[in-house]
Chain A
């Protein structure tokens, strides 16, 4: 009898475990039964952490207002925010795994540069197919500049709504500049002037005179706030007329600039290697240890923002200066420009796995309505929204963003909107890592070209 009892116990345990596993397989997925429509919306934002203001805006304003508006139309909709507060690369991995397995939130945010590969994989669908004619009839399109609309398109079809755009500048610490005898309205006109300022800062005892992102640990931040603006400043583009740029002179110049900074003691090579190097560079800038830092307007809005930043600077408006990124020499940038920048932008779209694509689209469009954008950007959270009508109102009185929208955006450049770009970007990051680690720029450029051939399908796709 004892034996029998024990066996039954084992069987019971195994059966229970089996049932438990089966149950796990069935749960999850955007639910919604009866009359209530349940929607979820996700962003790489989390209360108290990354993009805290955006997370707060969604939970405190968008969700209640949207539910209210739907109720007025006689629909019972509940919305849940799924927060996330990780590096962009990790967010991308999570998002693609979600979409691959047929799950994920109904409304998702993604970086504009992922659109191509996500579309090719079938993870996102053209809005007109998924949602219907409402998508193209959205009244917001009329307010969105063409360059920004372009980021939502892949192979001529619209896959998403644009959330906004951005631009890159050189930030500098005016206190440190004063100490080094540099002007508070600094505007370098060549790379040499950046190096000169760095040398003066170094002589004045600034621990890290210049921080320009390098290496693979910082991921896309190395490309966007590092090698790509430099490449543009040297007159190069990562892809031009369908051909990729290999070990060209502009790339060697850009890598040579890295060598001058990190080989010449003007930057901290270790910071580029650390797993949390970018966050640390933010911290160090806020603590007054970094003189010059190349970043996007996100840095102003989300990092050193005195209220909601992740490395708050109470005296940001007085201490942090900004300047356009110069070409290597005046007139030597892309299109013969004196100054350059790079722009990107995030997208918001409807998950093809959503059970309620129409309502999900309404939610996405609602977040980009003038009222929502004005609410989101008030109290010092101004950013460049996709809508010209909103920008006109909110940018006034925000010095940096007015500066970016008036001076930087007209001369900015965009990354090639092709699916293979992220892999090319990693190869570029590896080239900068090699130079920071002591490899010569020529060698690093040659290694980059070799990797590039493997990525883009042979030397035939590379401009000679």
Chain B
């Protein structure tokens, strides 16, 4: 490998272009070899499974039974079944609620608010607040959801004990609210840190001039801060929307219940594919999720590009 990397040959070309497209000076072939291991890994662990899911979605493949041994090609039947299945639509709608509620509104607003309030702070308060928020983010899901089940439990839950209202079944009467609040709490750290860094990029002089001109707090935010961090907001929205869309941890809290009232798409796929054994149908629903994710991603990327 060592011989394959020759010294950069930039000297000869440096006159023609200010920025070389081949900054490392490897040449296309060598660069290709250099990238190959990474690309192979991506192909093996991302592209191939995705294509495999597309294929499975066209079969009646099952976890058990005859169709496990000899799956039949059924074309678009699974997709049509999904389209006519009320559970699928309610799951889709619940997922939209979950993403809007916990990611777009919950995490972004809360994350920005914390970052904004803490922007000039120094010392222990900032460290403690940030520490607590980040702690919620880095703890393993299994542990965190166990704690939340204990918190929200109907009979012996901490929350009911604090509020003095025993018997309030949060996870059963308000399953969506429960998982939305849970996921907001869980994921706010990422937005907070991203906005914290972004706010550092807003030139203090601009804010100072706005203040001198008599701008109120909201006007400063709207006219000075937001234009500066627009790209960060969109990137943040893109990432957390996709993460939340595919998030499985609500399952650990409510298992999709009661009676499917918190069965977001990720949980829906798990239930039909692995518990119900309908791998083909599950793969078809996964395909739809993949398409929705692509649409969401393209939407945000377009917005991002339109800035320039």
User: Which A positions have Cβ atoms within 8 angstroms of B?
Assistant: 3-4, 7-8, 11, 14-15, 17-18, 21, 89, 93, 96-97, 100, 114, 116-118, 120-123, 215-217, 270, 273-275, 280, 419-420, 422-423, 426, 433, 437
Contacts and interface: CB of A to CB of B under 8 A. Distances in A.
B63 A93 contact: yes
5 closest cross-chain pairs (CB), A and B: A273-B258, A121-B68, A117-B64, A275-B255, A117-B65
A192 to B, nearest CB: 29
A7 B2 CA distance: 10
Interface of B: 1-2, 5, 8, 24, 34, 37-38, 40-41, 62-66, 68-69, 154-155, 169, 171-172, 254-255, 257-259, 274-277
A116 B277 CA distance: 14
B259 A121 contact: no
B259 A273 contact: yes
A274 B37 contact: no
Contacts of A420: 65
A275 B65 contact: no
A100 B154 contact: no
A274 B2 contact: no
Contact of A216 (B64, B169, B254, B259): B259
A270 B38 CA distance: 51
Nearest to A95: B64
B160 to A, nearest CB: 13
A72 to B, nearest CB: 39
A89 B275 contact: yes
B276 A121 contact: no
Contacts of B1: 8, 11
Contact of A18 (B2, B41, B169, B171): B41
A8 B63 CA distance: 44
A120 B257 contact: no
A443 to B, nearest CB: 15
Nearest to B253: A275
B172 A274 contact: yes
B269 to A, nearest CB: 13
B154 A270 contact: yes
A155 to B, nearest CB: 12
Given A7-B5, A15-B37, A121 B257 contact: no
Contact of B2 (A4, A89, A275): A4
B255 A100 contact: no
Contacts of A216: 257, 259
Nearest to A12: B1
